[in-house]
Amino acid sequence: MSAVVGRKRGFDRDDVLDQVTRAFWRDGYQATSVADLTATTGVNPPSLYAAFGDKQALFAEAVARYQQTYGAFTARALDEEPTARHAVERILTEAAIEYTTPDRPKGCLILSAPELTGPRDQARQAVEAKIRHDVATGVLPSGTDAHRLAVFVAATVRGMSSLARDGATRAELHDVARTALSVWPAPVP
């Protein structure tokens, strides 16, 4: 499995991956050159390629890391909250915070990268499934259009990320979240 012989790596792979993730997050895949990455990480090209493969593989790993750290709040909310309403409220509220955390790129890496349509749609599907479940179990009125509501949530989150990238404040994003939440259908009594 792991190498037992040979010179040891001169950098912390996780640290470098985090720096790379932030670079891609801030500037996007195309606008971030390998030269930029070697400059910010201090790791020379051959070492970077040996550790991560080519630029696309490095980006893929950065995205995976993002989803498991900075962007994990969405999956957590869907997993831990009892109802779709609770989950979406938490997603929007935490998005306002996460998208405007100081000393980090603003907005969401996945929502900002044109090439990540897959992960985006997966997130929307997960929200939609949670809504559908609540409709099926009588938490939400039977007339609720799960797809429509999930698409609206997707639009809201995307709007929040875009605004954050343009420098919107945390308070402004919180207001967007609160306004969007006000359209949520009243639960079945």
Partner DNA sequence: TCCAATCTGTAACGACCACTACACAAAGCC
Partner DNA sequence: GGCTTTGTGTAGTGGTCGTTACAGATTGGA
DSSP states of 4-60: -SSPPPSS-HHHHHHHHHHHHHHH-TTTS-HHHHHHHH---HHHHHHHH-SHHHHHH
User: Cβ distance 35 to 42 under 8 Å?
Assistant: no
Q: Which of 183, 19, 165 is nearest to 95 (CA)?
A: 165
Binding mask 23-42 for its own copies (x = CB under 8 A): -----x-xx-----------
Summarize the chain as % helix, strand, coil (round to 5).
65, 0, 35
What are the tokens at 164?
A: 């954050």
Q: Which of 123, 127, 107 is nearest to 173 (CA)?
A: 107
Q: Rule CB under 8 A: is residue 175 a binding residue for its own copies?
A: yes
- Residue 167 partner contact from DNA, its own copies, none using kind-dependent CB cut-offs of 5 to 8 Å: its own copies
Q: Rule CB under 7 A: is residue 144 a binding residue for DNA?
A: no
Q: Rule CB under 7 A: is residue 157 a binding residue for DNA?
A: no
- Could you tell me how many residues of this chain bind DNA (CB under 7 A)? 25
Rank residues 12 and 166 by Cβ distance to its own copies and give the closer one.
Answer: 166
- Residue 6 partner contact from DNA, its own copies, none using kind-dependent CB cut-offs of 5 to 8 Å: DNA
Rank residues 34 and 171 by Cβ distance to DNA and give the closer one.
Answer: 34
User: Cβ distance 83 to 91 under 8 Å?
Assistant: no
Applying CB under 7 A, the span of 28-36, 102-110, 146-154, 163-171 interacting with DNA comes to: 28-36
Which residues would be at the binding site for its own copies (CB under 8 A)?
A: 28, 30-31, 111, 114, 117, 120-121, 145, 148-149, 151-152, 154-160, 162-163, 165-168, 172, 175-176, 179-180, 182-183
